[in-house]
Amino acid sequence: MRKLLVAIILASTLFISACSENVEKTTENVDVEGLKDKATEIVKDRLGETEQVQILKEYYTYIEQRMDEDKIINFLKENVDSLDEFRVDEMLLQLENHLYAQGYDTKGVLQKLAPHVQNASDEFKSYFRIWNTEVENETTDGERLNISAEEILGRALQIENHIENYPEGKTRTRLEGLYDTYMSLAIQGLGNQYIYAQEGKSEIREDVLQLYEDTIRENPDSRTANILQEYLDEIGKDGMKLDGENALYFYDNFERIIENVK
């Protein structure tokens, strides 16, 4: 372990040294003035506060009147480069609401949002990635799980990190339900906890138990770890059986229980 640590430090030192030696050369090859001009052009393209607010008001009118979808999207296209990223966020979130109301599924919504995400904030980009991951590889088809409990927990942790990075963000409430779903699927599947039980028995599988314990150890103080720990404490009272009195109570009251876990 010590040898590995030394090797890592040495490699890092060599990397930093190499970077330092090449900074001057790299800078010489960069068109600094060109970059400044481009940045200035972007700022110039942005409208003033009053004008941006006016565009948002007009956009809201289109949404409220349930204008033709193409008209709403064309208005967005025409103005997205002139707005700051947080107003772009607002327009995209309103478009998302509108599309869902029109009967679009999540994949269809993301396809409509995708061309404009580059103009949005880091928060919205993170939000978009989370949903895009789910659409590209759905957790479940409604009858069975398509991915492992490990990957499900990974997605839950991704949402938790997003919420931690943007605690007051507008996307938080739109992801909390997905987080709860992921945690439920990782603990009790689609209402059938026995997918995580030993074959022919009711005790939890060793690999699943190890996964939970590893997740708790590797993500200390996270909400995900605390939920898993509370679950293990409860099934531990039943000898790690998934059909014990405490386990069944946990499943039946899952939403209320995890709501109180921070």
Beta bridge partners of 11: none
Per-residue pLDDT of the chain (262 residues; tens, 9 = 90+): 323 332 332 233 223 333 333 333 323 343 434 433 333 333 446 789 999 999 999 999 999 998 889 999 999 999 999 999 999 999 999 999 999 999 999 999 999 999 999 999 999 999 999 999 999 999 999 899 999 999 999 999 999 999 999 999 999 999 999 999 999 999 999 999 999 999 999 999 999 999 999 999 999 999 999 999 999 999 999 999 999 999 999 999 999 999 999 8
Domain assignments of the chain as residue spans, ordered by start: 49-120, 140-262
Q: Which are the contacts of 208, defined by CB distance < 8 A and separation ≥ 6?
A: 149, 196
Instruction: Report the pLDDT value the prediction gives residue 45, as an integer from 0 to 100.
Output: 60
Instruction: Report the pLDDT value the prediction gives residue 91, as an integer from 0 to 100.
Output: 97
Closest CA to 188 of 197, 178, 175: 197
Give the tens place of pLDDT for each residue, 38-87. Answer: 333 334 467 899 999 999 999 999 999 988 899 999 999 999 999 999 99
Instruction: Report the pLDDT value the prediction gives residue 23, as an integer from 0 to 100.
Output: 31
Q: Which pair of tokens denotes residue 154? A: 């990974």
Q: Which pair of tokens denotes residue 18? A: 């190499």
Q: What are phi and psi of 145, to 5 degrees?
A: -80, 135
Give the integer Cα–Cα distance in Å for 257 and 173.
18
130 in Cβ contact with 158 (< 8 Å): yes
